[in-house]
Amino acid sequence: MAVFRYYQIVRKHILKRIESGELSPGSQLPSERTLCAELDLNRNTVRHALQLLQREGQIFRLERRGWYVSTRRLVYNPAKHVNFARLASSQGFEARWTTKDNGVIEVSPEMEDEAGFPSGTNVYEMENDFFLDNQKVAHVVSHLHAERLKDIVPKTVSRALTQVVQEEYGISLLQRRLLIRPVLLHKQVTDMLGLSLGAPGLYVRRVKTDERGAVLSVEQEYWRYDAIELRVDAE
């Protein structure tokens, strides 16, 4: 038997309402104070339960807006090249994304580790936000080799990166050094995703090179914790 804890009462109360369909995916939970009144418990206890449910991936919260029921996860294979929109729609999601072109920047020594480019390289910087069923679920920062992939940024709007590079630049991109790490999302990212500071997330870094191993692109993806599930189907 589970030990008796008040926060487990809150947790199970909410889980039951999610399972029964009373709280549907994407809908907002009652306010914390309403839950306190319903269950006659202190707000600190209720918040403890809500944070547990968040870390379970059952609910998420938007900064100062409240708590929401998580939707199903996008199944995502980070080792394969993917076109985000096609992947999402093949799984029945309504997908869209925004693009922000930050122009050319020079890779600084401090960035080198994260970016994979030698410092001093000129790269295009591009930021994308991904939406699933109208919810922002990922923030992506991409760096692309500016000299080797001149004027590539506008070309990636409608086609996948690998495809553009192959067709327009005659270079075969290879996926290298894929890194996956659960993280606490930083302020810059939580702001972008509208989440509360300290929200859990998943960090995925994908480095692509040409056939000689020279780095041509680095994508850094920050996903809402409950929005994806990673699968790698080898062979």
Partner DNA sequence: GAGTGGTCTAGACCACACA
Partner DNA sequence: GTGTGGTCTAGACCACTCC
Point out which residues bind its own copies (CB under 8 A).
Answer: 2, 44, 52, 55-57, 78-79, 174-184, 187, 198, 200, 202, 225, 229-235
Partner that binds at residue 66, options DNA, its own copies, none, CB closer than 5 to 8 Å by kind = DNA
Residue 44 CB, nearest approach to DNA (Å): 3
Of residues 130 through 149, those in contact with DNA by CB under 7 A are none
Residue 55 near DNA by CB under 7 A:
no
Residue 118 CB, nearest approach to its own copies (Å): 20
What is the C-alpha separation between 41 and 5, in angstroms, rounded?
11
Instruction: Return the structure tokens found at 232.
Output: 């790698």
Q: Which of 32, 112, 114, 129 binds DNA (CB under 7 A)?
A: 32
Residue 55 CB, nearest approach to DNA (Å): 13
**Stretches 26-34, 108-116, 119-127, 220-228: which one binds DNA (CB under 7 A)?**
26-34
Residue 138 CB, nearest approach to DNA (Å): 20
Of residues 177 through 216, those in contact with DNA by CB under 7 A are 196-198
Residue 34 CB, nearest approach to DNA (Å): 6
Query: In sequence order, what are the beta bridge partners of 224?
Result: 201
Residue 107 CB, nearest approach to DNA (Å): 33
Residue 42 near DNA by CB under 7 A:
yes
Q: Which of 47, 81, 148, 155 binds DNA (CB under 7 A)?
A: 47
Q: Check the CA dihedral 225-174-177-108 and report its sign.
A: negative
What is the C-alpha separation between 147 and 215, in angstroms, rounded?
12
Strands 122-132 and 135-145: antiparallel
Please give the angle made by the CA atoms of 25, 75 and 210, to the nearest 5 degrees: 145
Of residues 81 through 120, those in contact with DNA by CB under 7 A are none
What is the C-alpha separation between 116 and 112, in angstroms, rounded?
6
Partner that binds at residue 159, options its own copies, DNA, none, CB closer than 5 to 8 Å by kind = none
Helix (H) or strand (E) holding 17: helix 6-19
Partner that binds at residue 174, options DNA, its own copies, none, CB closer than 5 to 8 Å by kind = its own copies
CA distance to 16, 22, 67, 129, 220, per residue, from 177 (Å)? 42, 44, 36, 23, 12
CA Rg value for the chain? 21
Which residue in this structure is represented by tokens 């990673």? Answer: 230
Query: CB neighbours of 63 closer than 8 A, spacing ≥ 6?
Result: 190, 194, 195, 196, 197
Residue 60 near DNA by CB under 7 A:
no
Query: Binding residues for DNA, per CB under 7 A?
Result: 4-7, 29, 31-34, 41-45, 47-48, 61, 63-67, 196-198
